[in-house]
Amino acid sequence: MLDSKEPNWDDFKGFLKGEVRYASVMKQYPAEAEELFQAAEDNAKWRYNNYKRLANQAWGVAE
């Protein structure tokens, strides 16, 4: 069981733009920023889905 709710994926890029490290990338490298933001979102979705998969596995002793 996960102890957090699912992220709001519709606002993920807005969240990133509020983070200093991502805002800096956007200012310095605007052409690459969108690609990096998408890669960060894809990675976050993969990690969250992997956590959900692990949380749904039975971890008890096999009978």
pLDDT tens series, the chain, 63 aa: 788 889 999 999 999 999 999 999 999 999 999 999 999 999 999 999 999 999 888 777 666
Amino acid of residue 10 = D
Structure-block tokens of residue 59 = 């971890």
Q: What angle do CA 4, 45, 61 make, to 5 degrees?
A: 60
Cβ count near 33 (within 10 Å) = 19
What is the per-residue pLDDT for 40?
96
Q: Could you tell me the CA-to-CA distances from 14 to 1, 5, 8, 10 in Å, in that order?
A: 27, 18, 10, 8
pTM: 0.79
- Contact predicate 34/12, CB 8 Å: no
